[in-house]
Chain A
Amino acid sequence: DTGVSQNPRHKITKRGQNVTFRCDPISEHNRLYWYRQTLGQGPEFLTYFQNEAQLEKSRLLSDRFSAERPKGSFSTLEIQRTEQGDSAMYLCASSSSGEYYEQYFGPGTRLTVT
């Protein structure tokens, strides 16, 4: 296992369309996180899963965003009725639940809404 993977790497969509991204975490990690990063800014937390349970969601997360992690393995992030303001890099990270809390990030999915 070489790390966190994300697909697709790039997505261009028209305003109003729905998009879905996938994240495959490091295999032994039971914690999974989604972040969003805009140009020149640090990543911003969106949501967190422990196994299949979604335990935390950002107050800033619009109801157009939904995330799932069936069976506690891969996760999907869906954005409905995309807006131009949704254009960003969407990052997935995973970590173990042991003593150390390091989150390891994937390469990200770059979303462009036209």
Chain B
Amino acid sequence: EDQVTQSPEALRLQEGESSSLNCSYTVSGLRGLFWYRQDPGKGPEFLFTLYSAGEEKEKERLKATLTKKESFLHITAPKPEDSATYLCAVLSYAGNMLTFGGGTRLMVKP
């Protein structure tokens, strides 16, 4: 059974204070690892897909990396508008559904 664990559950940062979110996974054949951003009361918003170990992707202040066991979402010089819950999910070759972690709630204070 695919499993995804995200840490920390919550993270408070000052504006400009860089940090990383962790996503550890076990999966029977990784087809893709996905990062989403979710604002309160809204659906998840797609950020990145990573397909193989060593791959990296960037978007504005966010950078996602992937190893064979975990993925990191690095946030450089965050702003208050980056406050949200960040979700990690995996897709395996065994099916077509995403298996999500519990998310990291990020709060960036001005």
Contacts and interface: CB of A to CB of B under 8 A. Distances in A.
A9 B32 CA distance: 30
B91 A101 contact: yes
Interface string A97-112: 0001111111110100
B46 A108 contact: no
B54 interface: no
Dominant SS at the B interface? strand
A28 interface: no
Interface stretch (B57-65, B76-84, B93-101): B93-101
- Which bucket holds chain B's interface residue count? 20 to 34
Interface stretch (A11-19, A37-45, A64-72): A37-45
A31 B41 CA distance: 24
B49 interface: yes
A101 B31 contact: yes
Contact of A43 (B31, B32, B98): B98
Contacts of A33: 96-98
User: Which of B46, B98, B100 has the most C-beta atoms of chain A within 10 angstroms of its own C-beta?
Assistant: B98
Contacts of B44: 43, 91, 105
B43 A91 contact: yes
A106 B43 contact: yes
- Which bucket holds chain A's interface residue count? 20 to 34
B97 A45 contact: yes
A55 B97 CA distance: 11
Contacts of B31: 101
A42 B87 contact: yes
B96 A55 contact: yes
Interface string A13-51: 000000000000000000101010000111111001010
A100 B49 contact: yes
22 contacts: A31-B96, A33-B96, A33-B97, A33-B98, A35-B98, A40-B102, A41-B103, A42-B4, A42-B87, A42-B89, A42-B101, A43-B44, A43-B98, A44-B100, A45-B97, A48-B95, A56-B97, A101-B32, A105-B36, A105-B44, A105-B45, A106-B43
